[in-house]
Amino acid sequence: MKYRDKIVLSLGIFSVVMTTFFVFVHAEAEAADVSFVKEYTYQASEADSRNSCRSISLEQIKRLLLEELGTFLISSTEVKDSALTKDQIETYTAGSVTTIVLKDKWDGQNYWLQAKLTANQDEVIKSINELRHDKEKSAELEDLRKKSDESLKEIEKLKKELANSKQDKQGKEQYEKAVVELQIKELMDKGNEFLKQKKFDEALELFAQGIVLYPNSPRVYRGRGVVYFNRNKHERALTDFSKAIELDPKYVQVYYNRARLYERQKEYDKAIEDCTKAIELEPKKAVAYNIRGLSYYFQKNYDKALADYSKAIELNPKNEQAIKNREAVYKAMKAVPAISELHPSSKQETDGFKFRKDVVLDTHTGLMWARNGNIAGREMNWHEATQWVKTIEIEGYRNWRLPTKEELAAFAKRGGSRHSEWFNAIGFTNVRDDCYWSSTSESAEDETRAGQVSIRGSGYVSYPAKSYTGPYVWPVLDRL
């Protein structure tokens, strides 16, 4: 039997046996680590190589370990209140944990693998919350999982076909391609781990080896280009990004990367061209509008910049960068006076609101609101929010509280169809097209849930669990 080190090909029937070895959770509260270990046995035919067995086994055991982690998070942590599916949780955790191969063994017929996954609960939950609000990153992770699913399904289908027709050349080539996709994914996972740890030299070496092994893979060229970009080696990054686009002209993410590079080099027309191409390919992704808006901004084409940022926020209301960039455009257009230009005692009255430096008086209701619609700078659960507002002082005012659902819903409706854009345009800052906590419990019978009011939903009220960390906080002060 012959084995190939570069690309692996399986021609015969294989079966898989998986065994749960053990699961353990560290009890130390300060560590909050959870670990899982599994064994996986892959039974191959005579035509299978060690590398093909390893690639398939490693992908399968990673999934099984992530399933264990997902089950634990849903049953034992605040993730259970996030309204995410188990598949989403497994997908989002994949980018924040590392699977380590403890032992493996190959005897020519069976490939045995033992692997361990260790995760810090707090870090994983934080990563899930960040990805839940970042449509671009979460979509990219979901796309990677989808491609991996397709490769595994293709391998299973072709395995059955090849068992009945061992001389099927086309089937063998398709099988080879599917296995290579898993190998490339393994390489990209490792490379991304190096990037996350800022181990740029190791990442460069890995991607360089990958290009030798997989010279027609645009993903590997993109990976090396990202490393060069982070090392400020822009010409080398440009060469790799352009090569990736040459290999796959529909690879949207590379257009984002190259556009960012052009923007950094002040080649704004080229950045706009790449973003426009990305939008043609995927018109519902916010990132290209955000990058293109920045190039328009630097060209002082404020109308187009404003349109792009507004579109980016419409597609991804939690896009912090687009929100900040749009505020910069408003100031450049002098649509809203900068906060620094307003004396604390001066007042600006617009649409029934009187604006001071950090507070706004609603002349319709007499309530005073924080001018900054995200003054806490983060999401909170209801219990934390109710305590936090009691501790703050804004412009010398204390005794802030959460608004009732009726107060907040009526307030949100003032934005009409423009939602947060309207509030930010008239003088508020950092208003999110998201949900904000109210002080109102769902009912006297159920005090475990509280009303959250959607700005984008023009005052729509829903009732998540009070332990849910998702809504923002907008403090209000009673009538003066």
| Per-residue pLDDT tens digits for 51-76 | 878 888 888 888 888 888 888 877 76
Looking at 190, 223, 249, which one is the last position of a domain?
Answer: 190
DSSP annotation of 416: G
Q: What's the pLDDT band for 329 if we cut at 50, 70, 90?
A: confident
Dmax (CA) of the chain: 86
- Residue 19 half-sphere exposure toward CB, CA atoms < 13 A: 8
- The H or E element spanning position 188 is helix 169-196
Q: Is the pLDDT of residue 177 over 50?
A: yes
| Per-residue pLDDT tens digits for 212-251 | 988 999 999 999 999 999 999 999 999 999 999 999 999 9
Compute the average pLDDT of residues 393-405: 89
Whether residue 218 is contained in a domain is answered as no
Whether residue 110 is contained in a domain is answered as yes
Q: Are 5 and 51 in contact (CB under 8 A)?
A: yes
Radius of gyration (Cα) for the chain, nearest Å? 27
Compute the average pLDDT of residues 9-16: 31
Whether residue 466 is contained in a domain is answered as yes
Q: Is the pLDDT of residue 119 over 90?
A: no
Higher pLDDT, 114 or 127: 114
Distance CA 322, CA 312 (A): 7
Distance CA 190, CA 406 (A): 50
Whether residue 392 is contained in a domain is answered as yes
Q: Is the pLDDT of residue 77 over 70?
A: no
Position 373 scores a pLDDT of 93
Whether residue 176 is contained in a domain is answered as yes
Provide the 10 A C-beta neighbour count for residue 146: 11
Into how many domains does the chain fold? 2
Whether residue 214 is contained in a domain is answered as no
Q: Which two tokens stand for residue 443?
A: 């009912």
Q: Is the pLDDT of residue 475 over 50?
A: yes
Looking at 190, 217, 237, which one is the last position of a domain?
Answer: 190
Whether residue 457 is contained in a domain is answered as yes
Of 458, 471, 480, whose CA–CA distance to 380 is shortest?
471
Looking at 142, 169, 190, which one is the last position of a domain?
Answer: 190
Position 11 scores a pLDDT of 25
Whether residue 80 is contained in a domain is answered as yes
The domain of 467 spans: 340-477
Q: Is the pLDDT of residue 117 over 50?
A: yes
Position 342 scores a pLDDT of 36
Position 266 scores a pLDDT of 92
CATH code of the domain covering residue 384? 3.10.100
